[in-house]
Amino acid sequence: MTPRRVNRSPGPAPAPASEGRANPPGLREQRKAQTRRSIQEHALRLFLANGYETTTVAEIAAAAGVSHMTFFRYFPTKEAVVENDEYDPLLVALIEGRPDDEGPLTTLREAIRQGLGLVYAADRDALLVRTRLILHTPALRARMIHNLAATEQLFAQTLAARADSDVTLETRVVAAAALAALTTAITTWAEGNGTPELPNLIDQAFDALGSLGD
Amino acid sequence: MTPRRVNRSPGPAPAPASEGRANPPGLREQRKAQTRRSIQEHALRLFLANGYETTTVAEIAAAAGVSHMTFFRYFPTKEAVVENDEYDPLLVALIEGRPDDEGPLTTLREAIRQGLGLVYAADRDALLVRTRLILHTPALRARMIHNLAATEQLFAQTLAARADSDVTLETRVVAAAALAALTTAITTWAEGNGTPELPNLIDQAFDALGSLGD
DNA sequence: CCTCGTAGTGTTATTGACTAACATACGTTA
DNA sequence: TAACGTATGTTAGTCAATAACACTACGAGG
């Protein structure tokens, strides 16, 4: 039956306010951002203290002072509360900024190195903690790899666009291989508790990729 | 109150029968195998007909004529009913059978091509159907990639053992890149509904990998 | 052949992620 | 300030997965 809002006002819709617009820093927006951060922080804290599986969404919500329904209004799943997901646009921009005559693997390698450099300087320790949590938790690992697949597609498309061509199998393989190198490096980094440093591992991993043909 | 069986015979346990033994093709074993197959077939049929998410475990169990608990005694999760998982030992054997002086990428490439050749001849169409189902279903994709990670580790270990060395970052990168090429090929194959043929795509994908350094 | 241990299964109940429907509180806008 | 709409809470439900316990029948030893 869905007693859906029956479009009471026949006018062309008040076009309420928020369209694609950038900045209405109303009170509501602030509270939303704060609630979101609060949920995320409490979740991470509880996960690290008591483990991911044994921590329930209800507990997280209670700790953040909201109902469990509110949790799901902010995060589609329990897993999503751990993700970042803000890196992709940056990486795309970096790829597009590379010289056109560069080989695709070098392009990806340098873009990743630059992008990581930024995160690394600011958040190294947090990144390590989060990565370790994810690697220890099957559900989170699955989710991370799922996101990685999206990134891979994005990389392939960006590479293809830069070369004015369609996405070919070869493009996809390059993107997939680069991300495989990246995840291998990150995994090794987290397993070694942060040594050697990630940028070095990334260099090593991409070197290995580059010499596959020999 | 649990009127549990109170260990009537105090003797040192009759050491019943089944230890690590290989083949008692008793009536029980047959029924088990049959039940297992029945559940799997009904599950796949229902998934393809009504979709994975909308099909409940209870429905599958009912269709196979068992209780939903029995389902879970045969398969740890709803996802597991779609998996195969029998390929890894074969692939390891194939890797170990390759000549020692061969480069690691070539070794993996040839082992995969041979292993796939066997499956492909026997089960091509079933493989295509199952692959398409998996790719269309996030939960199954996640599960598949999870299994792939195990395979990757296995590959790296096998490669290292063959070279009498430890598992290095380089070894892991090779294994990861090879599996990235394989999944890219399989994905492309399933997206194209089986054309071009998978072995060709695998060749193409590995060629792309090999020329990454140029 | 008969008995009894036990493997295989069913029944029922519980936890926890996630969804839906409806009610309410409060920021926003006129 | 009045009207509107969005954020949240409450309540109730679905479904996967686990657990405790009971029943049945296979299958081996006496």
When comparing pLDDT for B180 and A22, which is higher?
Answer: B180
Distance CA A146, CA A143 (A): 5
B88-134 pLDDT, tens per residue? 999 999 999 999 899 999 999 999 999 999 999 999 999 999 999 99
Calculate the CA dihedral of residues A29, A30, A33, A37 and round it to 10 degrees: -160
A63-112 pLDDT, tens per residue? 999 999 999 999 999 999 998 878 899 999 999 999 989 999 999 999 99
Distance CA A195, CA A201 (A): 9
Read off the pLDDT of each residue in A120-134 and give the average, rounded to a whole number: 94
Contacts 24+ apart (CB under 8 A), A39-42: A39/A64, A39/A66, A39/A70, A39/A71, A39/A74, A39/A75, A39/A81, A40/A81
Can you give the C-alpha Rg of chain A in angstroms?
A: 21
DSSP 3-state percent helix, strand, coil across chain A (nearest 5): 70, 0, 30
B202–A contact, CB cutoff 8 A? no
Closest-CA distance of chain B to residue A85, Å:
18
When comparing pLDDT for A28 and A75, which is higher?
Answer: A75
Q: Which residue is nearest to nucleotide D14 (CA to C1')?
A: B56
Decide if A70 contacts A35 (C-beta within 8 A).
Answer: yes
What pLDDT was estimated at residue A17?
Answer: 36
Distance CA B192, CA B176 (A): 24
DSSP 3-state percent helix, strand, coil across chain B (nearest 5): 70, 0, 30
Test B169 with A138 for CB contact under 8 angstroms. no
B13-59 pLDDT, tens per residue? 333 333 333 344 566 677 788 889 999 999 999 999 999 999 999 99
What pLDDT was estimated at residue B27?
Answer: 64
What pLDDT was estimated at residue B83?
Answer: 86
In order of A55, A92, A133, B75, B154, the CA distances from A83 in angstroms are 17, 19, 11, 30, 28
**How remote is the C-alpha of A48 from its chain's centroid?**
20
User: Using the CA of B78, which nucleotide's C1' is the nearest one?
Assistant: D16
Number of residues that this document lists for chain A:
214
In A80-152, beta strands by DSSP E: none
Window A:133-172, CB contacts with B under 8 Å: 138, 141-143, 145-146, 149, 169-170, 172
What pLDDT was estimated at residue B26?
Answer: 60
B128-170 pLDDT, tens per residue? 999 999 999 988 988 888 888 899 999 999 999 999 999 999 9
What pLDDT was estimated at residue A109?
Answer: 97
- Which amino acid appears at position A172 of this protein? R
Distance CA B126, CA A94 (A): 42
The beta-carbon neighbor of A201 closest among B143, B145, B169 is B169
Test A138 with B145 for CB contact under 8 angstroms. no
What pLDDT was estimated at residue B2?
Answer: 24
When comparing pLDDT for A101 and A27, which is higher?
Answer: A101
Distance CA A99, CA A78 (A): 41
Decide if pLDDT at B11 tops 50.
no
The beta-carbon neighbor of B174 closest among A145, A149, A208 is A208
What pLDDT was estimated at residue A21?
Answer: 37
A37-46 pLDDT, tens per residue? 999 999 999 9
Q: How far, in Å, is the CA of A42 from the C1' of nucleotide D4?
A: 34
Percent of chain A with pLDDT over 90: 76
Mean pLDDT of chain A: 87
Distance CA A203, CA A194 (A): 15
Decide if pLDDT at A8 tops 80.
no
B54-92 pLDDT, tens per residue? 999 999 999 999 999 999 999 999 999 998 778 899 999
What pLDDT was estimated at residue B156?
Answer: 97
**CB-strand contact A11/C, under 7 Å:** no
User: Using the CA of B14, which nucleotide's C1' is the nearest one?
Assistant: C5
Decide if B61 contacts B36 (C-beta within 8 A).
Answer: no
Please name the residues in contact with A192: beta carbons below 8 A apart, sequence gap of 6 or more.
none
In order of A27, A156, B53, B189, the CA distances from B132 in angstroms are 47, 21, 15, 9
Test A170 with B105 for CB contact under 8 angstroms. no
B179–A contact, CB cutoff 8 A? yes
Res. A26 pLDDT band, cuts 50 70 90? confident
A148-188 pLDDT, tens per residue? 889 999 999 999 999 999 999 999 999 999 999 999 999 99
B21: left (phi over 0), alpha (psi -120 to 50) or beta: beta
Please state the pTM of the whole predicted model: 0.84
Decide if pLDDT at A18 tops 50.
no
Number of helical (H) and strand (E) elements in chain B, helices listed first: 8, 0
